[in-house]
């Protein structure tokens, strides 16, 4: 059995949009352009939460000048 810390958590498009401070349409467009990884589960499109965290961290470090 795998450890829960190694599992990838997936979040909805709406949750990803909320975290990024954009509207869901922006997330869908990024997914369509291949800029945002996603998986389809049934009719739902889900985004890896870790990738959203990385986007936020890289944007934050780019604006603050931190490495």
Measured between alpha carbons, how far is 12 from 56 in angstroms, rounded to an integer? 17
CATH code at position 46: 1.10.1660
- Per-residue pLDDT at 61: 82
Instruction: Provide φ and ψ at 5, rounded to 5°.
Output: -75, -15
Whole-model pTM: value is: 0.79
Q: If the chain, 67 residues long, is cut into consecutive pieces of 10 residues, what is the mean pLDDT of each piece?
A: 67 98 98 97 97 92 67
Residue 67 lies in a domain: no
Residue 45 lies in a domain: yes
Residue 2 lies in a domain: no
Torsional sign, CA 15, 20, 25, 26: negative
Instruction: Provide φ and ψ at 39, rounded to 5°.
Output: -130, 155
Instruction: Provide φ and ψ at 8, rounded to 5°.
Output: -85, 125
- Per-residue pLDDT at 1: 44
SS3 of residue 21 by DSSP: coil
Residue 66 lies in a domain: no
- Per-residue pLDDT at 8: 84
């Amino acid at each position: 059995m795998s450890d829960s810390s190694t599992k990838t958590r997936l979040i909805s498009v709406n949750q990803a949009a909320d975290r990024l401070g954009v509207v869901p349409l922006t997330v869908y467009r990024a997914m369509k352009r291949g800029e945002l990884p996603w998986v389809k589960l049934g009719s739902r499109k889900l985004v890896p939460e870790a990738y959203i965290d990385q986007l936020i961290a890289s944007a934050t470090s780019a604006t603050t000048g931190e490495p």
